[in-house]
């Protein structure tokens, strides 16, 4: 899926979180976002997975401007986009398999959803496939809250892959993983992207990992693109400037502000 | 922006509550001396004395047993009927499900405006159902369906339905929104989203509340008979008013056993669902 962000602007009643942002992404590209906390990365991800609509400017996915899509088209688009969060955001009481099946809930009828909850799942093989890729196939029927935090993050990753997305967004997916698992996750995302021509956009705090595995790096600062370079051209100076603290701390909290209901895109019943 | 210094709310609340307590004491002729006067102690003592031995005659025990079973049945059916009533009202009384909040991902579209009145109306109905006590509902239903346990069941159902509806709605509103959103971004529809993310989070707490209300209903069902709405209460009423004081003790023992059995069973089940 290709993406075009033009003059994107967003503020939630206060100082702008994103100001006049521009960049575009080709289908199958792998991009890492770098930048200090509170530069609007999470908000940017929420624009790309259609949870919020822009205050100004445009987001285009595969040539379709998001603001012009009908409720039904938005839902169809959402099915093609998977998101991995910092926290796993799973249902703790579910078995692992049900948490993973949730990835395709958008394609399922209610009958099928209830059947998979109450009786049994029909897609065990598909689920086992993604679980094997994430290395926790033996935990398929475990209750999710009995897994360690790291294992739960792998379940969340498996759920995103099970969705079989055209665009895979990962907002600091390594936050709860040790360095070895973090690298394993990034390798998995890269391989998956190559095999399925999936566009992958991920944000990281581990600069080394990002530079090692992602061909293109976008540095974000103060709600705008600070640099947009091939990984090979990112210098130490770029990174120092990126992470230098120049603005007062108060802006940092802005990203966690509860988003007013009016900013959330509708989903269809 | 600097907020003006206000009277500390906690202190204000405490003062208001204290004032209410003082006014209540003055308005209610509360006099603990009456209990501990010679006359008071004598009354209690003779009442206790006459309770023994409890009436354990076969005929009476037989009657008490079936009255207790009827009470139990009233409490069960009063709770069972309350569940669908509570669910139906709770679904409309929940902001995130009806689509006025962020969990559903609903925006400021037509659906939201349509649903706002439903939300207000269902909250209103819940409040009315809850604020009328069971005994009053019982008296109302005796006028409608006549004396007997059916009136008791209806009375319990309506009051409990109001309470459960409120509790269910609160539980549904308080589910962790993040897992819900994590599934909503995959394009899942509202109904699927509810069954796959909201309900599984809310279900244990809802079941627990329901069982707890059943415990309360068994107690409530014991006094419904005072107004003629079935159960063991009628026997209490007769024994007290006709001064069969030995029978009062038998009934107290019966209620004690029954209520404790239900409590134990309910608590066992509540531990199971957590």
Question: Nearest to residue B217, comparing CAs of B270, B247, B262?
Answer: B262
Confidence at residue A155, expressed as pLDDT on a 0 to 100 scale: 93
**Does residue A222 or residue B112 have the better pLDDT?**
A222
Of B108, B185, B195, which is closest to A114 when you measure between CB atoms? Answer: B195
Q: Could you tell me which of B94, B93, B117 has the C-alpha nearest to residue B175?
A: B94
Mean pLDDT in residue range B266-274: 85
- Considering CB atoms only, which of B185, B192, B196 is closest to A83? B185
How far out from the chain centre does Cα B176 lie?
Answer: 26
Nearest to A266 among B106, B185, B191 (CB): B106
Distance (Å, rounded) from C-alpha A90 to C-alpha A162? 14
Q: What residue of B is the nearest CA neighbor of A260?
A: B102
Asked if A196 and A26 touch (Cβ cutoff 8 Å), the reply is no
Task: For residue A88, give how far its alpha carbon lies from the nearest alpha carbon of chain B (Å).
Answer: 8
pLDDT digits (tens, 9 = 90+) for B58-105: 888 999 999 999 999 999 999 999 999 999 999 888 876 655 334 334
pLDDT tens digits for range B245-266: 888 899 999 999 999 999 999 8
Cα A25 from Cα A60, distance rounded (Å): 10
CATH number of B56-273: 1.10.3720.10
Distance from CA of B271 to the nearest CA of A (A): 15
SS3 content of chain A, % helix, strand, coil (to 5): 45, 25, 30
Query: What distance in Å separates residue B274's CA from the closest CA in chain A?
Result: 10
Q: How far are the Cα atoms of B31, B32, B47, B129 from residue B25, in angstroms, in the given order?
A: 9, 11, 28, 30
Report chain A residues touching chain B, CB-CB < 8 A: 49-51, 53, 71, 75-79, 81-83, 85, 87, 89-91, 93-94, 98, 102-108, 110, 113-114, 117, 156, 163, 258-259, 261-269
Strands (E), A178-240: 199-203, 216-221, 224-230
Residue A101: alpha-carbon gap to chain centroid? 18
| Nearest-CA distance A262 → chain B (Å) | 5
Q: Are B222 and B71 spatial neighbours (Cβ–Cβ below 8 Å)?
A: yes
Domain boundaries, chain B: 56-273
- Residue A139: phi, psi to the nearest 5? -100, 10
Contact A90 B179 (CB under 8 A): yes
* Spans of chain A below 70 pLDDT: 246-269
Give percent of chain A with pLDDT exceeding 70. 91
Reported as a single tens digit per residue, the pLDDT across A76-114 is: 999 999 999 888 899 998 989 999 999 888 888 888 888
Model-level pTM? 0.78
Work out the pLDDT band at B111, boundaries 50, 70, 90. Answer: very low
> What is the mean pLDDT of the segment spanning B157-171?
95
Beta-bridged to residue A200, according to DSSP, are A30, A168
Distance between CA A56 and CA A264 in Å, rounded?
14
How many inter-chain contacts (A to B, CB under 8 Å) are there?
115
């Amino acid at each position: 899926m290709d993406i075009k962000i033009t003059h994107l602007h967003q503020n939630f009643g206060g100082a702008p979180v994103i100001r006049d942002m521009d960049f575009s992404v080709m289908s199958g590209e792998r991009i890492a976002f770098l930048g200090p906390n509170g530069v609007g990365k999470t908000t940017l991800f929420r624009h790309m997975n259609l949870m919020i609509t822009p205050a100004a400017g445009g987001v285009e996915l595969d040539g379709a401007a998001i603001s012009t899509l009908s409720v039904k088209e938005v839902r169809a688009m959402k099915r093609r986009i998977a998101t991995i969060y910092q926290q796993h955001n799973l249902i703790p009481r579910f078995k692992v398999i049900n948490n993973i099946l949730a990835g395709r809930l958008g394609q399922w009828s209610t009958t099928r959803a209830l059947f998979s909850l109450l009786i049994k799942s029909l897609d065990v093989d598909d689920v086992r496939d993604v679980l094997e890729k994430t290395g926790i196939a033996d935990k398929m029927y475990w209750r999710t809250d009995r897994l360690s935090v790291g294992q739960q993050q792998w379940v969340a990753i498996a759920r995103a892959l099970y969705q079989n997305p055209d665009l895979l967004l990962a907002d600091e997916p390594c936050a709860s993983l040790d360095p070895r698992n973090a690298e394993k996750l990034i390798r998995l995302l890269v391989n998956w992207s190559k095999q399925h021509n999936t566009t992958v956009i991920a944000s990281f705090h581990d600069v080394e990992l990002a530079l090692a595995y992602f061909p293109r790096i976008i540095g974000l600062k103060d709600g705008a693109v600070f640099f947009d370079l091939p990984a090979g051209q990112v210098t130490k100076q770029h990174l120092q400037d990126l992470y230098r603290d120049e603005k007062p701390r108060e802006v940092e909290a802005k990203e966690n502000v509860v988003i007013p209901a009016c900013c959330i895109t509708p989903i269809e019943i | 922006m600097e907020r003006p210094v206000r009277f500390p709310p906690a202190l204000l609340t405490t003062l208001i509550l204290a004032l209410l307590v003082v006014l209540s004491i003055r308005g209610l002729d509360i006099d603990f001396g009456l209990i501990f006067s010679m006359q008071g102690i004598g009354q209690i003592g003779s009442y206790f004395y006459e309770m023994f031995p409890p009436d354990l005659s076969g005929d009476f025990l037989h009657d008490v047993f079936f009255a207790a079973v009827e009470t139990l049945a009233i409490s069960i059916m009063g709770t069972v009927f309350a569940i669908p009533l509570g669910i139906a009202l709770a679904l409309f009384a929940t902001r995130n499900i009806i689509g006025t909040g962020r969990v559903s991902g609903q925006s400021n579209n037509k659906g939201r405006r349509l649903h706002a009145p439903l939300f207000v109306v269902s909250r209103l109905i819940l409040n009315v159902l809850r604020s009328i006590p069971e005994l009053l509902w019982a008296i109302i239903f005796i006028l409608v369906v006549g004396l007997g346990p059916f009136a008791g069941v209806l009375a319990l159902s309506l009051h409990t339905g109001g309470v459960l509806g409120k509790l269910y709605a609160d539980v549904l509103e308080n589910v962790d929104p993040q897992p819900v959103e994590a599934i909503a971004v995959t394009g899942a529809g509202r109904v699927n989203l509810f069954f796959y993310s909201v309900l599984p989070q809310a279900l244990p707490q809802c079941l627990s509340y329901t069982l707890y209300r059943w415990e309360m209903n068994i107690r409530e069902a014991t006094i419904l008979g005072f107004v003629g709405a079935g159960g063991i209460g009628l026997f209490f009423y007769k024994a007290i008013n006709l001064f069969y004081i030995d029978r009062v003790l038998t009934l107290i023992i019966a209620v004690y056993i029954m209520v404790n059995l239900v409590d134990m069973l309910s608590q066992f089940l509540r531990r199971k669902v957590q």
